Amino acid sequence: MRKKIVAGNWKMNKSMEEALILASEVVHMVKDEVNSDVQVIIAPPALYLTTLQKHTEAVANMGIAAQNCSNKASGAYTGEISASMLKSIGATHVILGHSERRQYFNESNEVLAEKVNIVLENDLTPIFCCGETLEQRQAEGFFEFVASQLTDSLFHLSAEEFGKVVIAYEPIWAIGTGLTASSQQAQDMHAFLRGHLATKYGQEVADNTSILYGGSCNEKNAQELFACPDVDGGLIGGASLKSREFTNIAKSF
């Protein structure tokens, strides 16, 4: 059956020194306290991946993710980091299509499809983000809009390739706002997306796909969210910057 996953997206936060402290606290707490069937991933700024990977690799159920990568393999792309570079330093996952990347860096579904391909080619796991704005939620058709993000960036994959993808549903109105989707809202969207995956890849592949919830998830609401039958964990922003709270979230299944 599908994996339970809690991933911490640190975004553009922490100095090197602070990052080392946070990562080593998380590593110790996860090792001592978190069930081994829960996979815990941290996604620090790219600059810290090499150093922090040495800490996470010591714990069997931990992984380390980049927050983004290039859609190109290599070459004259100043400032970019490739999937093969990430693989070479021991990264395990790459977050793709976060709403902040879509909004501030104009990442389109088409570019994201290229990123998904290159991440999979390098044997890394994409954590593919999707989600609607508040305006979309208040209008008709937001379920279909989120499903179309999956269709446009993922449905060119074979079933075997798709089997390696993790989905993160993150309603944009809930990210960093303190406004969490209710567990019913999360469950409804996750079930809808799983049904959408089943129409393309069949029920078995859909049932094996981990769909994470993200958006103001914290130690107080994680238990109720993770208890929903189609919510397989969380992509955690703000609350992943505190080791105690992040670990408590990973213990909320």
> Using CB under 6 A as the criterion, which residues of the chain lie in contact with ligand PGA when the complex forms?
9, 170, 175-176, 214-217, 235-239
User: Both tokens of residue 108?
Assistant: 């389109």
User: Both tokens of residue 135?
Assistant: 């305006």
Annotated catalytic residue 98: yes
Q: Say how far apart CA 24 and CA 109 lie, in whole Å.
A: 35
Alpha helices (H) in the chain, listed in sequence order: 16-33, 49-56, 83-88, 99-104, 109-121, 134-138, 142-154, 159-162, 183-201, 203-207, 222-226, 243-250
Q: Which of 139, 144, 125, 150 minimizes the C-alpha distance to 173? A: 139
Q: Please report how close the Cβ of residue 9 comes to ligand PGA at its closest, in angstroms.
A: 4
If you ran DSSP here, which 8-state letter would residue 2 be given? Answer: P
Nearest residue relative to ligand PGA (C-beta): 237
Annotated catalytic residue 170: yes
Q: Say how far apart CA 45 and CA 84 lie, in whole Å.
A: 17
Which of 107, 132, 170, 245 is the catalytic position?
Answer: 170
User: Both tokens of residue 149?
Assistant: 């993000």
The catalytic residue positions are 98, 170
